[in-house]
């Protein structure tokens, strides 16, 4: 940079609070001028007190190293003078700068004054899809050296390189994007406006125009438009030799497996004949490529796409990014594919343009806008899940989601979702998720009509998706956020901006404005009354407890239905008044400026949001359906903020058959596949919940005899009986077992729980012990990020432990030595009082069935099989499956769990004996 000089600072300290006596033990300053690291200042500092042990372990700085170092008061003036006139930069200035200022004050040195740049804030804007913004993870992702994290010299140098990388990235942005960033940067917490202004001045000197097209002044990267190649000709490999040759062409390390080739044939036959098939394929058998190859051949010959449905968007992206190139390589010709997600996953460029014009100035809104502006210069999908959002950004981003298929003229061919839909007509394979197939809409129906067949991967999860897709959720915080947007009269809020617009246009009517305020007041009072009724009825009641949250059936609450009817009437009145308020403005829509149209559009958005919430309110509180269940969730420590009400169907089969009717009636082939489609006691357990006819057999393929030769199962016999001791006592034993196992395996370990509360308690106990300080402890619900991001972090570290709940029991692929062991904390039964499970078992009991043996037990067995499937992904994998729950040997049903697992050695041993055996194994 030509005009900016940066002093990049990092401190190591004895703790977080100088007010409580914490002191600096190392300071490092890196000086950057004209984009070059020109000088550095690094000093150890004697804190005048012992360095806490955990700080010594974290930083590697011992009392001995600082023994001869100066105290900070001896160098305070020197440091102050060095920083004078420089832009202060740090990775989280909220820590380093206040700590330094407190020390200057204590030492009687003038406080530093000037501009500051926080590289956390800057990196979140310019790298909006990064996995993590912690310095260690971010520098690792960007390839910036960081030899020793938590050493001030290395951290400061890495932060300086990060700052330069961020500035370089801003230089690469289109000038229009940088101008939009600069305009918004004055609302940020650090002085990034000076940086954007400096870069903008440099960019404006260039004569070259934008490298990207613009939509209403916003640069964006265009989505890829597909066109089906001409003249492709391919045939399905009939003989085993032909299949082996195809697969070997895609995978150099391919080994021929009978089960894999059988599955290929089954998928091909179903697609060709338009029949339904269920095939259970063991994990690690190459299931994905085995259905993709026949699907691609069938699609190319038919000139129509085969739909591949997965449970998660992450799995859909994995197929797209990792598997489809192998299909093209095997067939020796291009295979066209597209990922299609639900409309709400995509950004609406028109909505973003409106939001940029509307003038909102809240920090979360502005910050998220800036992230999106940078992301649009990179994304080719428009899929908002690519963004790494935090805080209020998640609320703001919901306002940018595409919600309607209607497009303005300038959106045609530009809208990411529309392009993805059009690409489906040109693709051979459409990769989507279960939720989209289970949704309703013209786009989905057209996709099905134009398809040549369907593959449902992770088919057992189609059941869970059927419940989740059809859930209706009331969240107190979400509703209050909506109400705040409508009612707030702050200058930057929609109510005030709309009033100014109406006044300017001489269309303001105080009568209509008063009617809106009066209707909102009625709605707000009736809403608060209903919430008090719900919270009062639920508070103190017994119900299903998950973590700190209580789940109580809605039909168990003595709430007055009239209270809910009053809310509905108030919402209807408010919606009508909001429509009336802007009706005169709507008549002049053609003469409004783009900024005025944006204000009107935002008011109409919130009116539509209120209208949709009215429908949800009716379904939740004023209608009762026989095939559904509803429950209240709350945390008694946070009422009413924690309050939620959820309604879900109970019978998955009805929902699924209704959604797939276009496939079933169209004579298209459907292949249901998973590693777990059956249990020995009930081979049609999954099939019946999917609504699949008894005439469709469940075909079970087997892994080769040698496939699991590197695996062992340990049952730890000296664990306490989980039903006979308190959770606290059990957690202590679990923590001890985890610590000892980690020390032998050197990490590379999954610890799987069925309860977030038990996970958190175990994690806290292990973290507090300090015994695993050198390991990366990654915990679902504690460590930040999605499941995919947590898994990515786990793979990045050589010594890592991942603590996961239900979603980590399956759909997670960690091949090779990156995962060496899995600990099962307890058998994965659903809680008997979990709302949907409770409603389902009650229904079975009413029908004269034993809910435990016909539902609870097979469901838990399937989940345990899925957990085992994470461990072995190829015949060369080795690993240990460790079960801490002794019920697997003390209960009569325990043998059913073991019978469901692959035929591998089962050892019943003490914890000490298991550790010895693991130690011997690793030494060998």
Strand pairing category for 5-13 and 24-33: antiparallel
Report the alpha-carbon distance of residue 188 to residue 170 in Å, rounded: 16
Instruction: Name the band, by pLDDT with cuts 50, 70 and 90, for residue 1.
Output: very low
HEC profile of 392-409: CHHHHHHCCECCCCCCCH
Question: Within 13 Å and on the Cβ side, how many CA atoms surround 269?
Answer: 11
C-alpha span between 885 and 889 (Å, rounded): 9
Per-residue model confidence (pLDDT) at position 814: 64
Start-end of H helices in 134-257: 135-142, 152-172, 175-184, 192-204, 240-250
| pLDDT at residue 633 greater than cutoff 70 | yes
Alpha-carbon torsion angle 146, 148, 152, 153, nearest 10: -60
Other CB atoms within a 10 A radius of the CB of residue 895 amount to 11
- The reported pLDDT for the residue numbered 614 is 95
pLDDT for position 879: 83
Confidence of residue 541 (pLDDT cuts 50, 70, 90): low
| pTM (2 d.p.) | 0.82
What mean pLDDT value characterizes the chain?
88
- Report strand pairing: 472-475 vs 451-456: unpaired
Q: Token pair of 407, please? A: 């497009």
Output the 3-class SS for 527-589.
Answer: HHHHHHHHHHHHCCCCCEEECCEEEEEHHHCCCCHHHHHHHHHHHHHHHHHHHHHHHHHHHCH
**pLDDT range class, residue 254, cuts 50, 70, 90:** confident
Q: What DSSP designation does 641 have?
A: T
Identify whether the C-beta of residue 459 lies closer than 8 Å to the C-beta of residue 690: yes
What is the C-alpha separation between 883 and 676, in angstroms, rounded? Answer: 19
pLDDT of residue 186: 92
Taking each helix axis from N to C end, the angle separating 363-375 and 175-184, rounded to the nearest 10 degrees, works out to: 170
**Please, where are the H alpha helices in 684-786?**
685-690, 727-745, 756-769
pLDDT tens, 274-286? 999 999 988 777 8
Q: Which long-range contacts (CB under 8 A, 24 or more apart) does 758-765 make?
A: 758/727, 758/730, 758/731, 758/734, 758/825, 758/826, 759/803, 759/804, 759/805, 760/547, 761/727, 761/728, 761/731, 762/731, 762/734, 762/735, 762/738, 762/803, 762/825, 763/803, 765/731, 765/732, 765/735
- Residue with the larger pLDDT of the pair 709 and 596: 596
pLDDT score of 561: 83
Q: Please tell me the predicted confidence (pLDDT) of residue 60.
A: 86
Question: Which strands, in side-by-side order, build the sheet including 87-90?
Answer: 36-44, 24-33, 5-13, 87-90, 116-118
Q: What is the mean pLDDT of residues 241-267?
A: 88
Q: Is the pLDDT of residue 704 over 80?
A: no
Contacts 24+ apart (CB under 8 A), 166-170: 166/119, 166/122, 166/123, 166/126, 166/127, 167/1, 167/35, 167/195, 167/199, 169/126, 169/127, 170/126, 170/195, 170/196, 170/199
Residue 625 pLDDT: 75
Q: Per mean pLDDT, which range of 41-50, 175-184, 266-275, 437-446 is the poorest?
A: 437-446
pLDDT-derived band of residue 258, with 50, 70 and 90 as boundaries? confident
Q: Kindly state the percentage of the chain with pLDDT values over 70.
A: 95
Calpha distance 786→784 (Å, rounded): 7
pLDDT band, very low/low/confident/very high, at 107 (cuts 50, 70, 90) = very high
Specify the pLDDT at position 252: 81
């Amino acid at each position: 940079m030509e005009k900016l000089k940066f002093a990049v600072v990092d401190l190591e300290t004895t703790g977080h609070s100088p007010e409580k006596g914490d002191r600096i033990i190392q300071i490092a300053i890196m000086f950057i001028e004209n984009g070059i690291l020109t000088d550095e200042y690094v000093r150890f500092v004697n804190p005048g007190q012992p360095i806490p042990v955990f700080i010594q372990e974290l930083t590697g700085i011992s009392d001995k190293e600082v023994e001869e170092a100066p105290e900070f008061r001896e160098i305070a003036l020197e440091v102050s003078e060095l920083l004078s006139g420089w832009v202060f930069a740090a990775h989280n200035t909220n820590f380093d700068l206040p700590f330094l200022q407190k020390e200057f004050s204590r030492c009687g040195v003038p406080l530093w004054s000037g501009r500051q740049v926080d590289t956390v804030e800057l990196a979140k804007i310019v790298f909006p899809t990064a996995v993590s913004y912690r310095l260690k993870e971010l520098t690792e992702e960007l390839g910036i050296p960081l030899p020793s994290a938590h050493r001030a010299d290395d951290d400061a140098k890495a932060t300086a390189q990060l700052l330069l990388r961020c500035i370089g990235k801003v230089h690469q942005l289109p000038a229009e994007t940088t101008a939009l960033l600069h305009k918004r940067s004055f609302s940020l917490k650090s002085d990034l406006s000076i940086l954007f202004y400096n870069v903008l001045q440099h960019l404006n000197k260039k004569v070259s125009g934008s490298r990207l097209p613009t939509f209403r002044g916003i640069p964006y990267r265009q989505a890829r438009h597909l066109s089906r190649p001409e003249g492709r000709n391919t045939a399905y490999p009939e003989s085993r030799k032909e299949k082996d040759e195809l697969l070997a062409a895609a995978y150099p390390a391919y080994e021929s497996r009978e089960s894999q080739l059988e599955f290929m044939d089954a998928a091909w036959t179903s697609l060709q004949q338009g029949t339904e098939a269920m095939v259970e394929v063991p994990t690690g058998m190459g299931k994905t490529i085995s259905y993709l190859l026949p699907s691609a051949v069938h699609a190319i010959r038919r000139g129509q796409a085969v739909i591949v449905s997965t449970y998660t968007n992450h799995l859909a992206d994995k197929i797209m990014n990792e598997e489809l190139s192998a299909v093209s390589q095997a067939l020796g010709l291009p295979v066209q594919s597209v990922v299609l997600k639900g409309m709400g996953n995509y950004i609406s460029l028109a909505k973003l343009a409106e939001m940029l014009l509307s003038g909102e100035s809240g920090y979360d809104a502005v910050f998220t806008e800036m992230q999106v502006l940078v992301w649009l210069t990179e994304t080719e999908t428009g899929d908002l899940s690519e963004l790494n959002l935090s805080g209020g950004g998640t609320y703001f981003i919901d306002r940018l989601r595409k919600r309607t298929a209607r497009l303005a003229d300038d959106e045609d061919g530009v809208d990411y979702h529309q392009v993805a839909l059009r690409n489906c007509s040109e693709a051979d394979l459409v990769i989507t998720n279960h939720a989209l197939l289970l949704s309703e809409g013209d786009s989905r129906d057209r996709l099905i009509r134009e398809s040549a067949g369907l593959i449902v991967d992770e088919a057992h999860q189609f059941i869970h998706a059927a419940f989740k897709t059809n859930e209706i959720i009331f969240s107190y915080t979400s509703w209050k956020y909506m109400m705040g947007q409508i009612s707030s009269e702050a200058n930057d809020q929609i109510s005030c901006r709309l009033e100014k617009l109406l006044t300017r246009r001489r269309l303001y009517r105080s009568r209509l404005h008063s009617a809106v305020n009066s209707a909102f007041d009625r709605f707000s009072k009736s809403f608060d009354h209903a919430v008090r009724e719900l919270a009062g009825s639920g508070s103190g009641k017994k119900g299903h407890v998950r973590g700190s949250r209580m789940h109580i059936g809605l039909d168990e609450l003595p709430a007055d239905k009239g209270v809910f009817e009053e809310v509905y009437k108030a919402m209807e009145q408010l919606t009508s008044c909001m429509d009336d308020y802007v009706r005169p403005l709507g008549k002049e829509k053609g003469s409004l400026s783009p900024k005025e149209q944006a204000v009107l559009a935002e008011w109409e958005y919130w009116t539509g949001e209120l209208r949709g919430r009215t429908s949800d309110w009716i379904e939740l509180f004023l209608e009762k359906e026989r095939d559904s269940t509803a429950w209240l969730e709350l945390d008694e420590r946070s009422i009413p903020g924690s309050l939620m009400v959820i309604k879900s169907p109970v019978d998955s089969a009805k929902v699924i058959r209704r959604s797939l009717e276009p496939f079933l009636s169209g004579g298209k082939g459907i292949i249901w596949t998973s590693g777990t489609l059956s249990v020995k006691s009930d081979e049609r357990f999954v099939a019946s919940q999917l609504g699949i006819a008894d005439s469709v057999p469940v075909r079970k393929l087997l892994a080769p005899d040698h496939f699991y030769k590197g695996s062992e199962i340990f049952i730890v016999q000296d664990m306490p009986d989980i039903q006979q001791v308190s959770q606290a006592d059990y957690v202590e034993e679990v923590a001890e077992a985890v610590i000892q196992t980690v020390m032998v395996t050197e990490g590379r370990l999954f610890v799987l729980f069925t309860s977030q509360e038990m996970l958190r308690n175990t994690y806290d106990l292990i973290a507090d012990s300090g015994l695993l300080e050198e390991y990366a402890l990654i915990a679902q619900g504690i460590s930040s990020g999605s499941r995919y991001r947590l898994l990515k972090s786990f793979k990045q570290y050589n010594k890592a432990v991942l603590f996961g709940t239900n979603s980590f029991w399956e759909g997670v692929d960690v091949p090779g030595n990156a995962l060496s062991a899995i600990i099962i904390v307890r058998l994965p039964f659903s809680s008997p009082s979990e709302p949907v499970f409770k409603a389902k078992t009650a229904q079975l009991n009413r029908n004269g069935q034993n809910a435990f043996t016909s539902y609870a037990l097979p469901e838990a067995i399937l989940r345990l099989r899925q957990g085992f499937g994470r461990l072995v992904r190829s015949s060369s994998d080795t690993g240990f499956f460790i079960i801490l729950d002794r019920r697997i040997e003390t209960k009569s049903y325990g043998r059913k769990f073991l019978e469901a697992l692959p035929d591998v050695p089962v050892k019943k041993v003490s914890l000490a004996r298991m550790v010895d055996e693991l130690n011997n194994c690793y030494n060998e």
